Amino acid sequence: MTDNAAASPSDLSTCHHRAGGPPTWTGDYVCGQRIAGFALTRDPGPVDQVLVDGEEDLASPPYRPLPVPGDQAAAIERTGPSPINDLAADGLLQEAAQVVGEGLDRQLSAMGENGDFIRKLLDEIAAQGHLAWLVGGAVRDLMAAGTSACPADLDFTGTIGPGELYDALRRWRRAQGAADCRPFISRQLVWAVAPPRGGRPDAFVEYKPLSQPGFRFPAWGGSLARDASTRDLTINAIYYDHRNRVIADPTGRGIQDLLATPHRIAVTPYRGDDPIEQACVILRCLKFLLRWPGLDVDGISAWAARLPRDIVTEIPEARRPMLIGFRDRCIPQQYRGTRKLDAAARQIGPVAERLLEQIGVLEKAET
């Protein structure tokens, strides 16, 4: 990764400023139509598609490939705002503490070839005019523990689409010999890379473009603020731009909830109505209650009280395996059926207690 000087306070509002150049983004116009977001089609291969206003209720993405750079026929008017929107004006951008960047560099170095791959990947994204942010647990842990943090998962988000990224890696593999890496794209637009191993892929880096809610299929092209509204907890909705050494806190409370004393505060920025996402917020909160005794969950409890009590019954059968997989990641086997887990569920409320009960029934039904 290129070593850049940290952004000064006066630079924070301009470090992501769009100057009329690439990439094509939400709010731009293509052939006179306003771009509302982007989606992915998979046949014959992963291809990023442009979505325009009025397509929010389509059942599947239309065929409208992302314009090729330099294509004059596309008639692109780059009038859309930067994904950071007015975060700087609202005081939601700040210089990252030096230990955050040092902690990430240390972790990348400890990863050896995989860390080198991630550095090159971020350079490639920037070379194409795109932006990328580290987000989620890695940022949370780096801000809390600095250079002593060893984040297990490196999750990124940004403006490049998974199809474009897939093609970029394919070109890169041919040019630089990255044949040992296996890229794959999930149904939820997570682009991931794993080393060559048998069995289930074990990704060492994941990237999901900035979410754009409002479509009937997974889409991207939103601002950091819109993306944050799809995440589980405010403490996991803090974004770090390693090239500019900038922290973004779109919810306005992620950092204060993380650094609160005597205990961290669990609040969800999620405001959607997808029952599986709601269930996942509860499971993630339970995970942190088990990890951090004393976690303040009053905000989660108040939010959960407004949900349907039998939340699992709202989830289509086809999506329930996803919930079970998330349960397995959040609630280790040694906690199931324990008083500690029961007590954690009671702290959140009846919805959490019923959720655990329903997941247990599903677990027995599958065996």
Query: What CATH number is attached to the domain comprising 144?
Result: 3.30.460.10
225 and 267 in a single domain? The answer is no
Domain count, the chain: 2
How far is the CA of 348 from the CAs of 79, 87, 353, 354, in angstroms?
Answer: 44, 31, 8, 11
Residue 234 structural domain = 9-18+81-258
User: 238 and 166 share a domain?
Assistant: yes
Residue 300 counted as domain residue = yes
Give the pLDDT confidence score for residue 153 in this predicted structure: 83
Short-list 84, 129, 116, CA closest to 239:
84
Task: Please tell me the predicted confidence (pLDDT) of residue 293.
Answer: 87
40: in domain: no
State the Cα–Cα distance between residues 199 and 191, nearest whole angstrom: 18
| Same domain assignment for residues 146 and 280 | no
Whether the CB-CB separation of 209 and 182 falls below 8 Å is answered with no
User: Of 258, 293, 318, which closes a domain?
Assistant: 258
Ranges of H-type helices in the chain: 98-110, 113-127, 137-145, 162-176, 224-228, 254-259, 275-291, 298-304, 320-330, 339-348, 350-366
Which residue(s) pair with 241 in the sheet? 246
Better pLDDT: 78 or 155 = 155
- Taking the C-alpha atoms of residue 266 and residue 260, their distance in angstroms, rounded to an integer, is 10
- Is a pLDDT exceeding 90 seen at residue 306? yes
Which phi and psi (to 5°) does residue 50 adopt?
Answer: -90, 135
Considering the domain architecture, whether residues 106 and 211 belong to the same structural domain is answered as yes
Same domain? For 165 and 220 the reply is: yes
Verify that 218 and 275 share a domain, yes or no: no
Do 242 and 282 reside in the same domain of the chain?
no
Local structure of 262: helix, strand or coil:
coil
Q: State pLDDT tens for residues 121-148.
A: 899 899 888 999 999 999 999 999 877 8
Answer whether 118's CB lies under 8 Å from 110's CB: no
Q: Give domain status of residue 50, yes or no.
A: no
CA–CA gap between residue 240 and residue 255 (Å, rounded)? 12
Q: Are residues 153 and 254 in the same domain?
A: yes
Q: Flag whether pLDDT at 294 surpasses 70.
A: yes
Q: Which residues pair with residue 155 across a beta bridge?
A: 135, 206
For residue 354, what are its two tokens?
């019923």
Q: Is residue 25 part of a domain?
A: no
Same domain, yes or no, for 299 and 201? no
Q: Whole-angstrom Cα distance, residue 33 to residue 106?
A: 45
Domain co-membership, 323 together with 220: no
In the numeric block, the tokens 């991207």 are attached to: 220
In the chain, helix, strand, coil percent, each to 5? Answer: 40, 15, 45
Over residues 158-213, the pLDDT tens digits come to: 999 999 998 888 777 666 655 567 788 998 999 998 876 644 557 889 999 999 99
- Residue 105 shares a structural domain with residue 252: yes
Which of 258, 275, 305 is the C-terminal boundary of a domain? Answer: 258
95 and 229 part of one domain: yes
Is the residue at 24 inside a domain? Answer: no
Q: Identify the burial level of 277 via C-beta atoms within 10 angstroms of its C-beta, where 0-12 means exposed, 13-18 middle and 19 or more buried.
A: middle
Residue 361 lies in a domain: yes
Give the pTM: 0.90
73: confidence class by pLDDT, cuts 50, 70, 90: low
pLDDT at 40 over 90: yes
Spatial separation of the C-alpha atoms in residues 158 and 244, rounded to whole Å: 14
The answer to the question of residue 321 being in a domain is yes
Please tell me the predicted confidence (pLDDT) of residue 78: 87
Q: Give the end of a domain, one of 258, 286, 303.
A: 258
Flag whether 55 is in a domain: no
Question: Does residue 73 or residue 214 have the better pLDDT?
Answer: 214
